[in-house]
């Protein structure tokens, strides 16, 4: 039964495929007329002598022209676990990988490849995510943005209901704020345990996303029905924990589909979706709390995430190359009866000990954070930005509700300044990425200098303190409310550019350990973001909005030299590291 590949690779598509006994949603290998590559078929392998004859088998009607021999890749079976554990080769463009098809200009090794190693059929293999059509990749990118937004909004949508929670449960506002902070702690801790599951070929990214989202949706029901704070806080933590995988692994899913020269635009859009969660959450939560109380912030979150779950079950395909190849290997083993067929990921997994797995998932993110100056500096910087995002939530209550007399719904509308700032920044960033960053890859990714990611961070580092000083010193009730809202818009300009530059820079500096670096960054910034709301209201009341924002602005000024320093000395620092490439 021919179906679109996108649906067949989705969670529902795989359920139908497996429960129907492989009769529905079949793959090319299972349809009549498929010719199995010669090296995988024991009955025909005797006539296979190496890459050239394999290419002839796959494309017998085309004469194979002479191809200049290129330097081959190192034998894949000798690549260390440390080099492969982060999925660095998983997201490679198939056009840069070793293949047996010299007609397409792919590097050919002098050594005969392992005949039992299941890889791509050629550089244009349609199952490789980087070979998907532009329309399909854009559609899947939108789906990942929707998934991220549906989780991220769960933190800030609760914020307008904090005072109502305090009144109904008879606790202080600080205690009620724990419902916000524990959610953030949950999605900071969760990736350390759940995200590594997406790197296991038998699981894949989509199954982890969908199953964790299902748990997230279910947890909203008892959360909305809570009658005391003792039940609310652990449920909010568990919800953040369960919803965490896409917040840390979404960037890896995009890297599965987009080549490095296009990645800045796609990850920028994903980052925009992440920013929209905390920004639009108070808008929806404010009107909901004002009309029906705090529980309706949770019911809205349930409807939004539940609708996303139903939609993504059908329209979010698997993007992990390791998982796609694993499924191919399973089909070829069944088709040929050759049970020795294995993917490189299966070979690597067979040689990994539990100690290596623990080091990869739990220990290495902290080691990199402490021992690598580049990682430490950016984690501190991004954590500051993240903390200020959440402290803004409290400052808006002080400025617009207490100072300008806004109600909860109107206070939520004040966050639109942050939203508009993010949209304008992304619209301006896209031409920069296309016209300036993309041409730098024309000589190959190996010649791209990671520090070229940092000039946009220069702009962001300047806008950040400008926004804080502007907002703080125009927050007085005597000044029109639109003035501080405009100032807040400059904050998201700075935040977006710093996130965009920082996360891409870390990924480029540590391609073999990108999962560990980004998981550590997510944990670090989430811990800081969770702590800030606990003292933010007292901070603004005791110092005053102007002085409090000046303190934050002063810290931002002190950290402003970081991107300039790393642009000048980053390459030298990387040369001292045993982790950086």
Distance from C-alpha of 524 to C-alpha of 517, rounded to nearest angstrom:
11
Section 492-503 average pLDDT: 88
SS3 percent helix, strand, coil of the chain, rounded to 5, is 75, 0, 25
pLDDT tens sequence across 5-46: 888 999 999 999 889 888 888 888 888 877 777 777 776 666
Look at residue 115 in the predicted model and tell me its pLDDT.
76
- Which DSSP state fits 246? H
Range 320-324 average pLDDT = 90
pLDDT of 360 higher than 70 = no
Q: What is the C-alpha to C-alpha distance for residues 501 and 548, in angstroms, rounded to an integer?
A: 27
CATH number of 355-581: 1.20.1250.20
How far CA 471 is from CA of 144, 418, 533, 559, in Å, comes to: 33, 12, 18, 19
pLDDT (tens digit, 9 = 90+) per residue, 472-496? 999 999 999 999 999 999 998 998 8
Give the sign of the dihedral formed by CA 499, CA 500, CA 501, CA 503. positive
The H or E element that residue 307 is part of is helix 295-315
pLDDT digits (tens, 9 = 90+) for 538-560: 889 899 899 999 999 999 999 89
Mean per-residue pLDDT, 507-515: 79
Is 443's pLDDT higher than 80?
no
Q: What is the pLDDT averaged over residues 495-521?
A: 83
99 pLDDT band (50/70/90 cuts)? Answer: very low
The boundaries of every CATH 1.20.1250.20 domain in the chain are 134-351, 355-581
In percent, how much of the chain has pLDDT > 90? Answer: 32
Band the pLDDT of 358: cuts 50, 70, 90. Answer: low
Is the pLDDT at 55 greater than 60? The verdict is no
Range scoring the smallest mean pLDDT among 33-47, 220-234, 279-293: 33-47
134-351 — its CATH code? 1.20.1250.20
Range ranked top by mean pLDDT from 83-87, 181-185, 387-391: 181-185
Mean pLDDT of the chain: 82
pLDDT band (50, 70, 90) for residue 66: very low
Give 50 or 273, the one with higher predicted confidence: 273
pLDDT at 454 over 80: yes
Which segment, 49-63, 143-157, 443-457, 505-519, is predicted with the most confidence on average?
143-157
Is pLDDT larger for residue 63 or for residue 189? 189
pLDDT score of 51: 55
CA torsion angle 153 215 221 394 (round to 10): -30
Beta bridge partners of 117: 342
State pTM to two decimals: 0.84
């Amino acid at each position: 039964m021919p179906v679109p590949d996108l649906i067949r690779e989705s969670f529902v598509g795989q359920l139908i495929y497996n429960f129907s006994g492989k009769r529905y949603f079949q793959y090319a290998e299972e349809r009549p007329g498929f010719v199995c590559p010669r090296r995988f078929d024991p009955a025909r392998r005797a006539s296979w002598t190496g890459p050239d004859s394999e290419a002839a088998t796959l494309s017998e009607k085309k004469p194979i022209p002479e191809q200049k021999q290129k330097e081959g890749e190192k034998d894949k079976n000798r690549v260390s676990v440390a080099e492969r554990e982060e999925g660095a080769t998983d997201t490679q463009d198939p056009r840069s990988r070793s293949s047996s098809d010299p007609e397409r200009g792919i590097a050919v090794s002098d050594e005969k490849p392992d005949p039992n190693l299941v890889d791509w059929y050629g550089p244009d293999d349609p199952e490789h995510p980087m070979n998907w059509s532009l329309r399909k990749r854009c559609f899947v990118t939108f789906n990942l943005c929707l998934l991220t937004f549906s989780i991220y909004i769960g933190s800030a949508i609760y914020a307008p209901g904090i005072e109502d929670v305090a009144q109904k449960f008879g606790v202080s506002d600080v205690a009620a704020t724990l419902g916000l902070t524990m959610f953030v702690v949950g999605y900071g801790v969760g990736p350390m345990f759940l995200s590594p599951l997406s790197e296991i070929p038998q699981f894949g990214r989509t199954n982890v996303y969908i199953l964790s989202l299902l748990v997230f949706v279910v947890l909203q029901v008892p959360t909305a029905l809570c009658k005391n704070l003792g039940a609310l806080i652990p449920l909010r933590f568990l919800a953040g924990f369960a919803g965490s995988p896409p917040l840390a692994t979404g960037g890896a899913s995009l890297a599965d589909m987009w080549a490095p020269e296009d990645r800045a635009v796609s990850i920028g859009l994903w980052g925009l979706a992440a920013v929209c969660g905390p920004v639009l959450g108070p808008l929806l939560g404010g009107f909901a709390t004002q009309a029906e109380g705090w529980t309706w912030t949770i019911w809205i979150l349930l409807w939004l995430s539940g609708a996303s779950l139903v939609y993504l079950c059908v329209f979010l395909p698997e993007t992990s190359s390791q998982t796609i190849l694993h499924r191919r290997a399973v089909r070829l083993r069944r088709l040929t009866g050759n049970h020795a067929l294995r993917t490189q990921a299966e070979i690597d997994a067979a040689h990994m000990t539990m100690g290596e797995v623990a080091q990869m998932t739990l220990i290495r993110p902290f080691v990199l954070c402490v021992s690598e100056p580049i990682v430490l500096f950016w984690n501190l910087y991004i954590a500051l930005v993240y903390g200020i995002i959440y402290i803004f939530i409290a400052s808006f209550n002080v400025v617009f509700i207490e100072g300008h007399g806004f109600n909860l719904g109107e206070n939520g509308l004040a966050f639109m300044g942050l939203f508009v700032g993010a949209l304008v920044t992304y619209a301006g960033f896209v031409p920069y990425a296309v016209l300036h960053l993309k041409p730098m890859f024309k000589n190959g990714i190996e010649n791209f200098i990671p520090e070229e990611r940092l000039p946009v961070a220069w702009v962001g580092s300047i806008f950040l303190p400008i926004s804080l000083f502007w907002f703080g010193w125009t927050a007085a009730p005597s000044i029109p409310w639109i003035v501080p809202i405009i100032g807040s818009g400059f904050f998201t300009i700075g935040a977006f550019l710093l996130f965009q530059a920082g996360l891409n820079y870390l990924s480029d500096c540590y391609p073999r350990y990108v999962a560990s670096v980004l998981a550590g960054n997510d944990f670090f910034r989430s811990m800081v973001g969770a702590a800030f709301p606990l003292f933010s209201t007292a901070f603004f009341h005791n110092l005053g909005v102007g002085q409090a924002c000046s303190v934050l602005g002063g810290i931002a000024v002190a950290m402003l030299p970081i991107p300039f320093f790393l642009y000048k000395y980053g390459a030298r620092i990387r040369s001292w590291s045993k982790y950086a490439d």
